[in-house]
């Protein structure tokens, strides 16, 4: 749709033609060819026609966007259109004049305009070209408005994703089960109940705190993971075994916050929790070839039906990695026998860049 | 007082977390009329314990490894009072509400526990809603069955849907053919059909549902009917409407 086809915009556009109509009418009246009324009857429809013909410039303008096609093609396109429309307009105006004017008016007019026929045609061409310029401005304005809207939308989407990530972090299932464990412990072992309360509190505080940053040290994320695992160990008891092999150098590396916790949660929810006898979760981290290499491994039951929301966490991690590092980072998922592996490779960042 | 007030109740606690089982045991402490016959850490043990102890009441966790609480209910039948326990599962909770099944949310509060227990007692002898209906309404929308559980005596078998070759109706039962074996299950073929992904399973006959992946070819057989030859050589009758369904699905896949 043409962007001017709303009542307000069209009105403004037509208003811009009024001075032209008035000048032409004055020209006719002052030479004594026509009186004011007859001049209006002649000029208003003629210019109204051209006003609309000029609107059609929008289509070639859109088809030949500035800066994307050669100047020659641009010139050729619009000149051709200008000549064509000006021709149509002058012919149509002629025919209209013949149809409505009395013979003596026509004679006066012909006397006045015959020497200027070429000039009128040129005016038509120029008016059309003016309209072309006007449309380019219009298109640029629309484009910038659209770009703005898109940027705003992208921002909202990014925020949304962040919020979702945060929400997913504090999984309700985990929270309610932990509370139930605490509740049970209060009578069996009040000391451990308190310990678990503290762990849970620290875990939540860390999650909220880390979530506000754009990048954290691996050691901070590790701290969160250890709290998380400690809580889950109380819940699962003997069924959850953990192992860690963390290279000391890796702890200073930077990475987006709360990236690993969902992986750990997957390992437990989709791995250990599906095994009658439980299993082991292993975390390995080291610096290698300019990357921080992280490996999360867990035992799992390959026959277990995929639980709903499975894969959500992984997809989220993947998206966040891509958004920040592009092709520099990698995430590989491998399921072999009863071992499930997620391998992360994150390019090393210097502190300043963050 | 009524007889039931003096009756001793046998209860089963089924939860894969030890602390959660302990919690329920503790909540049951003031109730001398209830005796905990057994605690089970998974669904398989639960099915066995039900056969062994014939409990009146079961506290059944929904999320457990391999067999969920719904699977367990399906396997033990509907003439036992079940109080479901869950931490957070919006679909399961909705299903419990719809079918008026008692359930407890973790962490479990004393009052809520007492209420559920009272209700369960008053329902003594009433049948539970069918486990299949319950499980169906607890499945998130647009999701189909991922595996079928069947019981042979106290042996429980899980058949992943991908390994199901075909289903044959036999009166009130269905025979599930998987990897050369047939497993009987008490269910109607129509209710099973409703839980299967219609893009993978086709009702080719009043009494047969076939896994599309297994169909090797279709052969004409008599007037108006055909035979589906499966990749393992099994031959299943295909009715005229069944053939039309099969064809439209195969066309879609092309």
User: What pLDDT, in 10s, does the model give residues A4-21?
Assistant: 778 888 888 888 899 988
CATH code, domain carrying B175: 2.40.50.1020
Of A182, A234, A274, which is closest to B65 when you measure between CB atoms? A274
**Domain match, B122 and B168 both:** no
Asked if A186 is an interface residue toward chain B (Cβ–Cβ < 8 A), one would say: no
**Domain match, B28 and B110 both:** yes
Instruction: Report mean pLDDT in 10-residue bins for chain B, 254 residues.
Output: 64 95 95 94 93 93 90 86 88 82 91 92 80 79 84 86 94 92 91 91 95 91 87 92 89 77
pLDDT given for residue A67 in this prediction? 79
**What residues in B contact A301, CB-CB < 8 Å?**
65-66
Last residue of a domain, one of B113, B138, B163: B138
Record: fold of A170-347: Heat Shock Protein 90 (3.30.565)
Task: For residue B57, give how far its alpha carbon lies from the nearest alpha carbon of chain A (Å).
Answer: 21
Task: For residue B250, give how far its alpha carbon lies from the nearest alpha carbon of chain A (Å).
Answer: 26
Domain span at residue B183 reads 147-253
Partner-chain contact A173 B88, CB within 8 Å: yes
**Domain match, B84 and B151 both:** no
Last residue of a domain, one of B77, B105, B138: B138
**Domain match, B243 and B190 both:** yes
Of B19, B41, B146, which is closest to A185 when you measure between CB atoms? B19
Last residue of a domain, one of B107, B138, B169: B138
* Percentage above 70 pLDDT, chain A: 93
**Window from A263-267, A268-272, B222-226, B234-238 with minimum mean pLDDT:** B222-226
- Listed in order, strand segments (DSSP E) in chain B are 9-14, 34-40, 57-61, 81-86, 103-105, 147-152, 155-160, 166-170, 173-178, 181-186, 201-205, 208-211, 215-220, 226-230, 235-238
Does the pLDDT at position A170 exceed 80? no
Partner-chain contact B107 A176, CB within 8 Å: yes
**Domain match, B131 and B57 both:** yes
* Percentage above 90 pLDDT, chain A: 36
pLDDT given for residue B228 in this prediction? 93
- Determine the 3-state secondary structure of A196 from DSSP: helix
Partner-chain contact A308 B143, CB within 8 Å: yes
**Domain match, B22 and B107 both:** yes
**What residues in A contact B19, CB-CB < 8 Å?**
180-181, 184-185, 188, 234-235, 237
User: What pLDDT, in 10s, does the model give residues A289-318?
Assistant: 999 999 999 999 887 766 555 566 788 788
- Residues composing chain B: 254
pLDDT given for residue B77 in this prediction? 81
How many structural domains are present in chain B?
A: 2
Partner-chain contact A308 B42, CB within 8 Å: no
**Domain match, B103 and B157 both:** no
Q: Give the phi and the psi of residue B141 in degrees, each rounded to 5.
A: -55, 150
**Domain match, B63 and B134 both:** yes
Does the pLDDT at position A354 exceed 50? no
Report the C-alpha gap between A97 and A328 in whole angstroms: 72
**What residues in B contact A177, CB-CB < 8 Å?**
17, 20, 87, 106
User: What pLDDT, in 10s, does the model give residues A121-159?
Assistant: 888 899 999 999 988 998 888 889 988 888 887 777 766
CATH code, domain carrying B39: 3.40.50.2300
**Domain match, B32 and B9 both:** yes
**Domain match, B183 and B221 both:** yes
pLDDT given for residue B6 in this prediction? 61
**Domain match, B7 and B131 both:** yes
**Domain match, B79 and B191 both:** no
Q: Where are the domains of chain A?
A: 7-159, 170-347
Contact criterion met (CB below 8 Å) for B214 and B185? no
Of A180, A187, A276, which is closest to B107 when you measure between CB atoms? A180
């Amino acid at each position: 749709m043409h962007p001017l086809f709303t009542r307000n915009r069209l009105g403004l556009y037509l208003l811009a033609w009024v001075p032209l109509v008035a000048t032409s009418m004055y020209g006719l009246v002052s030479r004594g060819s026509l009186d004011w009324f007859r001049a209006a009857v002649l000029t208003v429809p003629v210019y109204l026609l051209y006003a609309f013909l000029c609107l059609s410039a929008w289509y070639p303008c859109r088809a030949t966007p500035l800066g994307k096609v050669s100047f020659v093609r641009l010139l050729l396109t619009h000149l051709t259109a200008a000549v064509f429309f000006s021709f149509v307009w002058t012919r149509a105006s002629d025919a209209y004049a013949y149809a409505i004017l009395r013979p003596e008016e026509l004679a006066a007019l012909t006397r006045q305009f015959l020497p200027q026929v070429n000039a009128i045609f040129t005016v038509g061409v120029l008016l059309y070209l003016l309209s072309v310029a006007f449309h380019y401005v219009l298109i640029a304005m629309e484009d910038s408005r659209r770009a703005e809207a898109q940027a705003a939308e992208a921002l909202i989407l990014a925020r949304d994703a962040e919020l979702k990530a945060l929400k997913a972090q504090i999984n309700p299932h985990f929270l309610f089960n932990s509370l139930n464990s605490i509740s049970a412990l209060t009578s069996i072992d009040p000391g451990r109940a308190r310990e678990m309360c503290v762990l849970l509190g620290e875990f939540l505080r860390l999650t909220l705190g880390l979530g506000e940053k754009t990048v954290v040290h691996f050691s901070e994320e590790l701290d969160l993971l250890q709290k998380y695992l400690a809580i889950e160990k109380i819940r699962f008891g003997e069924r959850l075994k953990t192992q860690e092999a963390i290279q000391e150098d890796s702890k200073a590396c930077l990475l987006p916050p709360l990236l690993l916790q969902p992986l750990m949660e997957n390992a437990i929810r989709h791995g250990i929790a599906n095994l009658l006898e439980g299993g082991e979760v292993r975390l390995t981290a080291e610096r290698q070839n300019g990357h921080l290499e992280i490996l999360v491994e867990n035992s799992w039951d390959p026959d277990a039906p995929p639980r709903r929301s499975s894969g959500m966490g992984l997809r989220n991690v993947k998206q966040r990695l891509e958004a920040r590092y592009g092709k520099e980072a990698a995430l590989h998922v491998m399921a072999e026998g009863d071992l499930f592996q997620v391998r992360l490779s994150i390019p090393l960042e210097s502190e300043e860049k963050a | 007082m009524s007889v039931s007030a003096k009756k001793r109740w046998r209860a089963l606690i089924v939860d894969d977390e030890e602390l959660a089982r302990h919690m329920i045991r503790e909540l049951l402490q003031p109730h001398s009329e209830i005796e905990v016959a057994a605690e089970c850490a998974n669904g398989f043990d639960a099915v066995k314990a039900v056969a062994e102890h014939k409990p009146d009441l079961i506290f059944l966790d929904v999320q457990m490894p391999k067999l969920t609480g719904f699977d367990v209910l399906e396997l033990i039948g509907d003439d036992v009072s079940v109080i479901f326990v869950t931490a957070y599962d919006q679909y399961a909770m909705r299903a419990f509400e719809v079918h008026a099944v008692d359930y407890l949310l973790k962490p479990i509060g004393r009052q809520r526990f007492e209420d559920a227990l009272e209700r369960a007692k008053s329902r003594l002898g009433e049948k539970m809603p069918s486990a299949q209906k319950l499980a169906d309404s607890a499945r998130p929308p647009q999701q189909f069955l991922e595996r079928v559980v069947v019981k042979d005596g106290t042996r429980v078998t899980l058949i992943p849907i991908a390994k199901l070759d075909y289903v044959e109706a036999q009166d009130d039962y269905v025979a599930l053919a998987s990897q050369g074996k047939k497993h009987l299950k008490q269910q109607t073929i129509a209710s099973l059909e409703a839980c299967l992904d219609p893009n993978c399973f086709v009702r080719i006959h009043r009494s047969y549902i076939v896994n599309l992946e297994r169909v090797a070819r279709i052969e004409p057989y008599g007037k108006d009917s055909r035979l589906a030859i499966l990749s393992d050589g099994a031959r299943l009758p295909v009715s005229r409407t069944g053939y039309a369904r099969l064809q439209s699905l195969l066309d879609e896949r092309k």
